[in-house]
Each structure stands twice: as C-alpha cells, then as structure tokens.
Amino acid sequence: MLKRISAQFAHDDVKAGGAAERTMGLRRTFMLWLAANMVVTTLLTGTLFVPGVSYGTAVLMIVLGTLVGVTVLALVGNMGTRTGMPTMVLTRGSFGARGGKFPAVLNLAVLMGWSWIQALLAGITVNYAVESFTGFSSVALFTVLCQGTVVLLALFGHRGIERIEPYLALVLVGLAAYVLFRVFSQFSLADLGGIPVDPSLGFTPAIAFDVVVATAISWTVLSADFNRNAKGQRTGILGTVGGYTSSTVLSMTLGATAISYAILSGGTVAVFDPTLLVENFGFAAALVVFLSVMATNTLVVYGMVMSYLNLNPRSGFLAPALVLGGISIVGALWQGILDRFLDFLFLIGTFFVPVFAIMLADYFILRRGRYLAEDLLKGRDGAYWFSGGFNPAAWAAYIVGAGLAFYWTQISPLSLGATLPVFFLTFALYLAISFVLSRRSATAGQPEPREAPRREPV
C-alpha cells in the first residue's frame, strides 16, 4: 500500500537527466516563471515604494530593475539547460566540490525563510477573509492548511509542478486584471501620479531599483533547478525572460497601485500587509494571495529538496521533501519574521549576488560555456577538486564581494544601491584572481582543470 502511494510521488534527483526529462517547452517555461513571481511577497514589495517615491517612478524602477535582474536569472538558468544540473550543484564548478556545499546550505536556509514568510502571509489573508464572513479566526490553522497543501503539491516533483503552474498563472493574471480594473475605474493615472512623495520614509529610486534586482537574485537560486528541464536553450531563455518579467512587473505594479488606491480612498494604509488587499478589493484579492502562495511555495519547497540533495546526492526525493516540508509548516507559525522582510531580502543579496557573479564569470568567460557535468558530482577524482575541494580564486572574490555587499547595505548604504556594484566588482575580481593564479600554475607546470566537450541542447 505504502509502496503504491510512494510510486505516485516524484523521484527527482540532482543527476543530469536525459531527453525524457526535458519536458518544458516554451509555453510551460513561460507559464512556470509567470506563476513563480506572481506571489504575495512580490506584490506587497510594491506597496513599499509609494509614497516613498512617486507612482510613476516606482513603476519605472520596477521595469528597469526587473530587466536587469532577469538577465542574471536567465543566464544561470541557461547553465542548467546546458548541463542538466540544478543551481546548487553548478556552484561546485566555480567554488569547488566541497566549496559548493556552502551556497547550498545558505540556499536551504533562505528558501526555508521564503516559505515561512509566504505561508504566513497566505494564512493571515485567508484568516482575514474567513473572519469577515463567519467571525471565526485562527491564523495558525489557516497557515498550516496553506503550507500543508503546498508540501503535498511539491511531492509530485517537477512534472507535477509543470502541470499545475500554467493553470495557476492564468487564474492569477485574471484576478490581477480585475483588481487593476477596479482601481482605474475610480482613479486615473494622473490621480495616482499626483500622490505627494514623502521623503521622510527614506525610500529613494535607487533603493527601489535595488530591491527589485534583489528580488530577481532571490529567484535565481532556483533558476537552473527548473530550467534544466527545458527542451532547449532558446526555449529556456525566452520562457524565463518573458514569464519572469511579466509576473514581476505586473505583481509589483499591482502592489504599488493597491497602496496608491488605499491612499486616494482614504482607507487603511499599511505597507507589506496582505489585509490591505482584502479590505480594499474583497474576496478576489484573498484568492490572488492564496493561489499565488500555492504556485510559488511549491517551487520553493522543491528547491529546498534540490539543495539538500546537493549536500547528500544519494538520498531519495520523498523523505527530504516530507521532513523539509514539515519544518516549513512549523516555522511559518513564527509571525515575527514579517517585521524583518526587507532585511531578509537584502541579506539574500549579500550572500548570493557574489555567488552568481562568480558562477557566470567562471562558466561563460573562463570555461567558455562548458562544464563536465558528470564531474560536478564527483569529489577528489573529479575535475573540480581544485585545492582540497575549494577554489581559492572563487573564495577570495566571494569574501570581498560579500563583505562589500554587507557594508554597502547594512553599514554605509550606497546612494545608487549595492547590488550592481557588488556584482560587477566580484565578477571582475574573480576573473583577475583566476588569471593570476592560472599564470602561476602554468609557470609551476601544474595542469589546468579538464575542459568539457561541447555537448549542449540548442
């Protein structure tokens, strides 16, 4: 009986799959990334911008930040399509067979935090809607029910996710259109643009831009996990860029529009509060929040399992999914995490912006777009052992990049934001250190790591 039930669930692993596993065409890839960021956290992030900046400036920063961020997202996803490997396994190519486990541990913690935040927001929203109709209230109960549903969906693996995400995406877009229709049937763009800016909030266009880019970085940790199942490089890149850009611009703009609507209506104005949506837009908004969490947290729980499998490749899929899913349900009951959301988002940037800068520099510049996929899962006998399992160049560049990211976000914030300066400085520093070390290795007569033959889906 248990074997038959288990057989219905996924048996995904971190090994490069064959052609049969590459099931995501352009439509499915687009829909998956469309549903991914049509989520309550992204929507509520948009509520942070107005009236710190004007409505028009907020929308402009959302568009520009998304276009910059999705470039990194799509390129890391393309690495997954080429190699068939998930994101955290790919870090071994640049950080080393042992060094690549550090980003995986960080990623596991970050994704767990995301799951808690989003499940709690869904629970708060559903509770508010139910209480409005029935008088019954239990945030904890509805949070557990929401995240429990997510864990069940995640157990079906990437194939199950591919099937359900397109339908959730269509429903979310339809409901978002309804909310926007409600707003613009009462107020014009000029009304929204005329809301006075409040400088005392300390929110500048550069900070807004940085937050939008950081949101894309937070999704990049999952990009190769899913895009390794794309049928080809063109499919993966176009689907990712189109889907993620559409969902982020629509979702964050919806948040900025919702807070502007609340200001103009004279109602309750509360940033990063999902009850703002239900209070102003009714049951449809509650449904948006609930379905968005179902769509997104399913991807997040799946990503947690992939990170764990990078640490323990011999483990099966089901047991880690159940354990990590259980932790995500219990942890979502901690309501204090919502007070630290922006700090959490910038913390992701601190840890992962340098990681992706190094990964892209290593793969596309130093390795010329080629990894030995089978060696990424090997240890001492593989091509990515470097020095004791660690790549000194990557770790030197990472320590400097992460240090600068922390300093420029937490101690002395840059007026132009920290994400892009940290990315480009780490990118350049890694290339420079690698060049110096390779020259020394050549002088000493030490062999360079083997280079993979060019065998990639197109």
Q: What count of other Cβ atoms lies within 10 Å of the Cβ of residue 369?
A: 14
pLDDT confidence band for 455 (50 / 70 / 90): very low
The pLDDT tens digits for 133-177 are 888 999 999 999 988 988 887 777 555 555 666 676 677 777 778
Q: What is the mean pLDDT of the chain?
A: 83
Residues paired with 230 in a beta bridge:
24
pTM of the model: 0.84
For residues 269 and 347, the model is more confident at 347
Instruction: Kindly give the interhelix angle for 87-95 and 101-134, rounded to the nearest 10 degrees.
Output: 150
CA dist., res. 42 & res. 118, Å (int)? 10
The pLDDT of residue 168 is 67
CA dist., res. 217 & res. 349, Å (int)? 7
Q: Is the model's pLDDT at 392 over the cut of 90?
A: yes
Tokens 């520009």, residue?
64
Cis peptide before 205 (omega within 30 of 0): no
The pLDDT of residue 381 is 81
CA dist., res. 95 & res. 56, Å (int)? 41
The pLDDT of residue 222 is 85
Q: Is the model's pLDDT at 342 over the cut of 70?
A: no
Domains of the chain as residue ranges with CATH: 22-341 (1.10.4160.10)
Element (H, E) at 158: helix 157-184
The pLDDT tens digits for 119-134 are 888 898 889 888 888 8
CA dist., res. 360 & res. 29, Å (int)? 21
CA dist., res. 168 & res. 147, Å (int)? 16
Tokens 């007569």, residue?
445
The pLDDT tens digits for 198-242 are 888 878 898 899 889 988 988 898 899 889 888 889 999 999 999
Q: Is the model's pLDDT at 4 over the cut of 80?
A: no
